[in-house]
Each structure stands twice: as structure tokens, then as C-alpha cells.
Structure 1
Amino acid sequence: MIAAVKNYFSDFRDLKTASKEFWLVCAINFFDSLAYFSMITVLTLYLTSNVGFSDVDSGAWVGIFTLYITAFMFAVGSIGDAIGIKRSFYLAGVILIISRLGLGVSPLFLRGQALDYAVMGFIILMSLGSAFMIPMVTTGVRRFTTKENRSTGFNMYYLIMNVGAIFAGFAVTDGFRNWLGEIRGNMAILDFGFVMAALSLGCAYLINEKNIADDERVDEESTNKRPLQIFLEVWKESAFRKLILFLLLTIGVRLVFTHQFLVMPKYYTRVLFSDFDLGFANSINPAIIVVGLILLIPVIKKFSTFKLIVVGMTVSALSLLFMAVPIEWILALPGIHNLNQAYMFAIFAQITVFAFGELIFSPRFTEYISVVAPKEKVASYMSLSALPMFIAKPINGFVSGLLIAGFSYEGIRAKIDTGNVAYQDSPEFMWLIYFALAALSPIAVIAMKRVLTSEESVTEKSPAAEPAGETV
């Protein structure tokens, strides 16, 4: 284990030559990860408990939030390529400061429809800020690293994002909710996001865009293109169309990520108890990712990207079976004596197995999308690659609200305790539906292997898919 740790961190010596701007982008990544992952964990609970939305409406509005992120990203990527990283970070920071603070204080001053409309407006505004922030962080990682240290730079990006997710869980989410209670804690978490946006804005002020890597410099003609011109050029490129096909095939499993904030918070608190430690549960996944990046990446590098995608997605999909099997099966296991223990076992087994699946296939996605793009269109590729999820997220948001209302509603645990809930009416059946959707991804990728592994395949040409000096 010690050797694996040394081997992993030895790669980071490449970053000794990284510019100050790279580390400022990493700081922005950390601050935004703290804010985003803590906010998204409690957003559906905030909408229900603080604002008064129903389960269906809260699920729908979380879906709308993610929908608008991807919708706005279609436009802001090309805008970011046109106006530059620094001004894009400025826009993101200001918008997130206003929207997060607005959500954090609105329940203190508004009631009824005024509160509803204000929250809806701030959610849409926050999605615009996130739409600027997300692609510009990865664009910054590419722009401020060289060919020699770019792969290591993306490893650092993914590591920092998951460290931020860990602290967002047990320190921010559980910290504020345990200290202030559910209602005030939810608002404090959103106010914390306002502070993180302000810190990100400060980091953006220190960035000098002239310090981009030499191999990332573009000619004056490219920098003078209008956003619409860049947007239209990207759509004509065959590499981008192949990328979209690849991402479409992976929607089923990638939607499981959205269950962590759309479905699981209410599922946890309704089949167990209202003060369930959401932050701790949501910290397990990134903690496994961080440890796995250190211990397993040297091993994972030896396998082809296609195999890793199929295996990783399959493992992630199978993780849902822990929560899909009849709870009586879990109760029959040695050492499980009551329903609370059974649900805790199912929940933490799913989180752990899913994290290993994510670790196998997820880290290469972001780097691939960034590196495959022409250097003058990085932000555009990062933004437009969200198209498949743009289609899927709102559907998942509305469906999640309906499934929660039908299978994991308030009072479901009392009915389960009486033993009068049939499997087809239970929360476990809801997870069986989600498992069937997730399982479609590895099946679809295998079915399209010939296309995906062709000469111009997105999975085989990716610099992210193979370490320097190796072939896939």
C-alpha cells in the first residue's frame, strides 16, 4: 500500500512546473465543489421543508435546475471561448453569489407565492452560474497545463473535486444540520455556498490569462470569432458527433449520479429516520474515490478504455440491486436483526459498490472530452457534450418525484413495520426500476462496440484513455 501511495503521488512531481494560474483554478474547483455538493445534497429537502414544495414539485425543480445548467451550457461554452477564462469566472462568481445568497435568505423574509417565485427564480439563476463555472474549470486545467503534465493535472482536478465532496458531506452538510437543525441548517448551507462563490471570485481576480501553456495558444483569427460562429463549427465536426453518440450510450448509468440528490435524501430519511446523517453517507463515495485513485489507478491504467467503461458501468448498475432486492432477503443475512440494520446494510453496500464502479470508468470522461477538443474550442466541447444529459435530466427529475411519491412517501416506514407493503408497492421496487434503466448503458455500449472502437472512435483515440507511452 505504501508503495502504491508513493507511486501515485510521484506523478504529481510533474506539476512543479505548473503555473500559478493552474493552482488558482484548482482552488476555484475546491471552493465550488464544497458549495455545490453540500447544496445539491439538501436542495430537495430545502424545497420541501423550507419552501413547502411537494415531493413531486421538489423533484421537478431539482430536475429543472440540472436541466437549465445543461441548457445554458450550450451557449456559455462558446461565449467562454470568445471572452476568455477570467471574465467567464467573473460572471460565474457574481451570478452564484447572488443566487446562493438569495436562496439562503428568502425563507426568512418571504412567504407563500412570493417565496415560491423567488426560489424558482434564484434556482434558474444559480443554474446559469453553474453552467459558466463547470466547463471553465476543466477548460482552465487544460489551458494552464502542458502536454507533459496535463494528464497529471486532470488527476489533480478529479482528486480535489472529490476531496471537496468529502468535506461538503460530513463537515458542511452534517455540520450545519446537526448544529442548527434541519430548517436553519439547510439555509446555512446555501449561505455557505455564497461565501465559497466569493472566494472563487477572488481567485479569478488573480488569474493572468497570458500565462497559458505554449501549446494552448491560438491565433488571433480564432480568438476573434463570434460565439455563434464557434457554436456552429463545433456541430459540423465528426469528432464531436461521435462524442455525442458515446455519451448518449452512457446515460443510463450516469443518471445514477443524479439519484444521489434527487432520490436518496428522501429515501434515507423515510425508510430510516429524519435525522439520518446525509452528509456522512454522501462522503463515503468521494472518500472511496480518493483512496481508489491512489491505490488502483496504476492497475487500471493497464486495461483498455472500452473494457474499463463496460466493467465500471456494469458494477455501478449492479450496485442498485442491494436496494432493489426484497428487504426480507437482507433481514435473512447473518448479523442483521431488524429493519434499521437491513436498510443501513443495503444503503452502505450500494454506496460502496457504486463508488468502485465510478472509480473505474468516470475519471477518464472529463479529460477525454477536454483533450479531444480543438484548443480554440475547449469550452464549447465541454459545454455541448452535456447534450445527452440535457435530454435525460429533466425526465429523471420528474420521474424521481413520481416514484418517490409512489414508493417512498412520508409514512412508508410505518407501513413497512406492519408488514403490509407488497414488493411491487415498496421502495425496493422503485430501485428495481432504476436498476433496469442503469443496466441499459453497458448493454448499449457492448452492442455498439464496433462503432465505438473504429479508427475514429472516441474511446480509442482519447489521450485520456491511455497513459503516455502505452497503447490501449
Structure 2
Amino acid sequence: MSFLSNFGPLAEAPRDLWLVYLLKLLASFAYFSSSLTLTLYLTAELKLGDVAAGLHYGGYGVASTVYGVAGGAAIDRLGVRASLLLGAVLATVARAGLGLTHSRAVALTLLYTLLPAADALGVPVLTIAVRRYTNGRSRTLGFALFYTVMNIGALAAGGGVDAARAAFAGGLDMPAGWGRLSALRGVLLLGAAATASSAVLVVAGVRDVEMDEGGLLRVYVPGRWGGTSAAAAAAAVIDGADQADGVGGVAGGPAAGPSTLERCRTVLRDVRLWRLAVLMLLLVGVRSVFRHLDATLPKYMVRVFGPTAPFGAVYAINPAIIILLVPLVGAASRPIASFPMILFGSALAAVSPFWLTAFGDHYPAIVAFLVTLSVGEAIYSPRSYEYAMTLSPVGEEGIYSSLASAPLFLTKLLTGGMSGALLSVYCAEKPPPVRQTRLMWGIIGGVAVTSPVAMAALRRFLDIGAAAEGGRDDAATYEMVTVDGAAGGGDGGGGGGGGEGREGGEPEQGAAAGAAPLVGAPKGGAAPAVGGGSIASPPMPPLAEASAT
């Protein structure tokens, strides 16, 4: 029995899908390792204060999201192969530039231009690629494996950051007068090496093809309206080689229908959108805790426990638990409606910082914080995407999720500014005789707790019940598929993100502009159009929420 046959329906997927998983692993490692060390880099290498570093951290996250939304049309025109190649090149230049430059102006320019642009041409495109390289029989497993690979990349990033910091602990003199390479710069250059490897893989094997519902592989031609549809194009079947007898005609454009502005006006009058928007807004508080894992935890640990503090290993607790727990929680909680799970899980995640408030600066308290946060995330985060899909009518998922997710722009800015202010006052680099870290984590927890408290107060409005249809076809059942994003999101980048999709971070868009963390497809019904049609969905799942950044 071959290795691929162990994956059932994925055995018929083209080789490009397995390259995408490898690309996802490299991209996740690069994103999460740089995100984890970004605020430390801005302070230690660029000599920015805590508040300025926090604001630039938040600004980068917002930039990744904006680039992701604006870059959707460019992705459609370029296609998967060209978008991935361009994104890998931009990411390599940006991370290498950040690792080598000693100019604050150059570093900040890269942080707001090339790096978020690379995020927008990376993670979202990989998600689109998984959709094109799978069909109705394999898509659920394909996206599930994609999400798992993202978390493995985040897990590796935590260990990689600590390994790079240990390897470059004493610094390394660079040739040709480039100066001394610090541990933080070594982490960025390690990420640059990962994205450079991605560019090589794209050139070597990724193709613009798509699989139809019959398992046939066809040429996909990017065009003005997003390319040819496998159902409509007359392209020749590919037999596994990079050859085809011909390329089918490009679809003549989408059928006439309401404009985007008209659709938005209609959607804005729908109470379901406002339920979803209110929930997303109320989740900002608890999602901010995940962004503090990037923005606050590394500086806190280095300042309290010393420069060798293993914040990467501590950070890795989150993706490790998510990988193991999400499938178990999903299976055990199927009879329970979404809102009670969201309320309970977010409450658990929100109180997690209070471990450090109660027990102070001790490693067991930090571990308890990460474990509690991760268990809460595993409970509430996947169900928040199911809630969103339930409220979004079929065919309108993208516009509902993009409008409802607008409040999540607040998460990065809130966390970045808040992190810098709290660190400068309660955990400064050159502190007064006693640091007040317990109060700092208490404030973080207090902000997070506002989410479940407000949700409980608005329960009658938000709880749609287990049987709510949300405009869906009564005769169809739906497969709910969670994938990354990110931001961070998050991704962060999240990114969401552009960026990796993680709790709290990553930019969260539909498939055309960003990632499609949750896909609903009627079982046994007509398959969605491949290529020309859009598959859009709500925000990305848990980590490892970049997110986007």
C-alpha cells in the first residue's frame, strides 16, 4: 500500500497539493518565528521604546490585512503559481532586509510595505491552491491537513526561535562590514531562508491546474474574471505531466447580477449580519490575549527570567494543544449548539492571564496560563466559524464574513498599543526596584473578561439555537471545514491575514482576497464552480490567530 493511499481521497490529488503543504510548513515557520520576536527586535535592534514598538507591531498587522483585501484582484489575475512565487521573493527580501539593515527607516519601510505584501501573496494563495487541487471527495480532508500543517509550522517556530537564540547567543561577525549578527537577526534570516526555499519549490513544481469533480486535472488559466472554470473550460486533461493538448477558453465573465455595492446594501439590512458583527466585536477582548503571546510574553519573559528565557518553547504549548485537542472537542461537542460553546470557551481563555496575577513570575504559572488559554481556544474558536457559517446564507458567505469581521481590525491595534504601554509602566527594561507584573497580567485578563461578560449579557440576541438555519437549504447537510489562515490573526499573518491565521490576528477574508478558513459545501448536492466561482468564508481558525498578523 502506497503512502498516499493511507490518506484515502487525497491519494488522487496532484503532486502540487503535497508541495503546497510543504510550502505551508515553511511559510508558517517563517511567519510565526518573526512575529514572535518582532517587538523584541524593534526594541533591541532599532532602539524603539515599548510603546512605539507595540504600535508598529499593531500597524504591521493592520497593513497585512489591508494588503490582503486589496490584493484579492491581483491574485485572481496572477494565478496561484505567479502569486506564490512573487510572495516568496518579497518575503525573502523583506526578512533578509530586516535581518541585515541597521537603518530604522529601512526596517520600518519593509515592515509596512514588502512584508505585508508578501503575506497577502502567500497564505491566502495557499488556501486557494488547496481548493483547486482537491474536489468534493477530498476537500474536507485536504483543508483539515492544511490546518494541521500550519500548527506544526507554528510548533516548529517556537523551538526554532529558541534554537537560533542559543546558536547566536554571543553574536556572529558578518563579512564585508555588515556588522555583528545578533540572535534576533538570526531568527529573521532563518525565516528568509525558509521563504527562499519556498520560491525554489514553486519554480520546481507548482502549476496552475485544478481538479474537477470527476478527479480529472485540467489547466487553469488566470484571467480577468479569475480564470477558467473546470466545469466550463474545454481544457485537455493532464495525465500527470506538465503538458496539455490545449487550453480551454476563458469564461466570458460572471453572469449579470447585483453589484458589490448593491449586495452590501442588502446585507446591511439583514439582522443576521448584525448578530455576527456584534459577536465578532465582543470577541476582540479575548482574542487580544492571543496577540499578547507575540507582543508581550517574549519581552516579559526576557526581562523577568533573563535573556535565555525559553519563550519559544512556552509559546509552542499553544499549537501543540490545539493540534491534539481540536478534533477531540469537535467530536465530543457535536450535539451542543455553537453559542454556549463560544461563551464557555471564551470565558476559559479570558481568565487564563489570572494565573500570573495569582501566582506571580513563576514558570508553572506561565505554563498554566498557556494551557488554560489553549483549551479555551480549542473549545470556542472553531465553533465561532460554525456560528458564522450558520448565519451566512449560501452564496453570501464572503460578503457576510468580510463585513462582520471588520471589528477584528481592532485586535492588533488594541493589543499593540496596550502591550507597549503596559510593558513600559509595569515591566520596563530598566525598572524601578519592584516590577508590577501581576498587575500587568491582571489588566490583560480584565480586558479579556469583558468578552464573555458582554456575550452573556446579550445572550438572548446572540444565541441563535442549535436548529437555526440561517438561510441554508433545509434538504442539504454541510461539511464544516476549519483551516488556518493571521493572523495571525493573525498570521496572524496571522494573520489573518495576509499573514497566518491564528487566534486574534491574522487578516480574515474570503477566498478571493484571503484565506477560506471555513468552507460549507452541500453534501450530495451540486458542487460549487471551480476556478471562476468564489468560495469565501468566515475568519480563520485557531492557531497557532495570527493571525494575520
Same fold (TM over 0.5): yes
Give the letter aligned to residue 99 of structure 2. G
- Residues 165 and 234 (structure 1 numbering): CA distance in 2 closer, same or farther, change over 3 Å? farther
Matches within 5 A, 1:70-89: 70-89=65-84
CA contact (8 A) 2:342 2:383 kept: no
Give the letter aligned to residue 138 of structure 2. N
After TM superposition, the score normalised by the length of structure 2 is 0.68
* Number of the residue aligned with 1:110: none
Q: C-alpha separation between the residues in 2 aligned to 1:22 and 1:286?
A: 23
CA contact (8 A) 2:92 2:196 kept: yes
The answer to whether structure 1 residue 210 and structure 2 residue 178 are counterparts is: no
Task: Report the alpha carbon displacement of residue 186 of structure 1 after superposing the two structures with TM.
Answer: 1.0
Point out the more displaced range, 262-271 or 76-85: 76-85
* Number of the residue aligned with 1:99: 94
Across the aligned residues of Structure 1 and Structure 2, the Cα RMSD in angstroms comes to: 3.8
Task: Spell out, residue by residue over 1:31-71, the C-alpha distance to the aligned partner (whole angstroms, 9 max, x if none).
Answer: 11110111111111111112211111111111111111112
Q: C-alpha separation between the residues in 2 aligned to 1:371 and 1:86?
A: 33
Task: Spell out, residue by residue over 1:436-472, the C-alpha distance to the aligned partner (whole angstroms, 9 max, x if none).
Answer: 22122233444255456254289x9974279999xxx
Matches within 5 A, 1:368-379: none
* Number of the residue aligned with 1:351: 370
* Number of the residue aligned with 1:309: 342
Q: C-alpha separation between the residues in 1 aligned to 2:22 and 2:200?
A: 10
Task: Report the alpha carbon displacement of residue 191 of structure 1 after superposing the two structures with TM.
Answer: 1.1
Task: Report the alpha carbon displacement of residue 296 of structure 1 after superposing the two structures with TM.
Answer: 4.3
* Number of the residue aligned with 2:53: 58
Percent identity reads 28
The answer to whether structure 1 residue 159 and structure 2 residue 169 are counterparts is: no
* Among candidates 427, 433, 438, match of residue 415 of structure 1: 433
Give the structure with the higher percent strand: 2
Q: Which has the bigger relative contact order, CA under 8 A and spacing at least 6?
A: 1
Q: Secondary structure at the match of 1:464?
A: strand
CA contact (8 A) 1:81 1:379 kept: no
Point out the more displaced range, 440-449 or 10-19: 10-19
Unaligned runs of 5+ in 2: 172-180, 215-228, 234-249, 482-519, 524-549
* Number of the residue aligned with 1:119: 107
Task: Report the alpha carbon displacement of residue 101 of structure 1 after superposing the two structures with TM.
Answer: 0.9
Q: Secondary structure at the match of 1:268?
A: helix
Task: Report the alpha carbon displacement of residue 121 of structure 1 after superposing the two structures with TM.
Answer: 0.6
The answer to whether structure 1 residue 392 and structure 2 residue 411 are counterparts is: yes
* Number of the residue aligned with 2:311: 278
CA contact (8 A) 1:177 1:185 kept: yes
CA contact (8 A) 1:370 1:381 kept: no
* Among candidates 171, 186, 189, match of residue 188 of structure 1: 186
Give the structure with the higher percent helix: 1
Give the letter aligned to residue 157 of structure 2. A
CA contact (8 A) 2:341 2:383 kept: no
Give the letter aligned to residue 193 of structure 2. V
* Number of the residue aligned with 1:176: 164
CA contact (8 A) 2:279 2:462 kept: no
* Number of the residue aligned with 1:441: 451
CA contact (8 A) 1:269 1:276 kept: yes
Task: Spell out, residue by residue over 1:209-239, the C-alpha distance to the aligned partner (whole angstroms, 9 max, x if none).
Answer: 32244498576887847xxx98657745639
Q: Secondary structure at the match of 1:211?
A: strand
Unaligned runs of 5+ in 1: 1-8, 108-114, 328-341
Task: Spell out, residue by residue over 1:73-107, the C-alpha distance to the aligned partner (whole angstroms, 9 max, x if none).
Answer: 22113432444333322332121111111101113
Task: Spell out, residue by residue over 1:338-390, the C-alpha distance to the aligned partner (whole angstroms, 9 max, x if none).
Answer: xxxx5212111101111111222334667887999999999888877753222
CA contact (8 A) 2:9 2:137 kept: yes
Point out the more displaced range, 199-208 or 368-377: 368-377
Corresponding residue pairs, total: 427
* Among candidates 1, 17, 24, match of residue 12 of structure 2: 17
* Among candidates 135, 145, 154, match of residue 134 of structure 2: 145
Q: Secondary structure at the match of 2:428?
A: coil
Point out the more displaced range, 288-297 or 310-319: 288-297
* Number of the residue aligned with 2:480: 464
Q: C-alpha separation between the residues in 1 aligned to 2:341 and 2:522?
A: 18
Q: Secondary structure at the match of 1:73?
A: helix
Q: C-alpha separation between the residues in 1 aligned to 2:211 and 2:117?
A: 26
Q: C-alpha separation between the residues in 2 aligned to 1:247 and 1:223?
A: 37
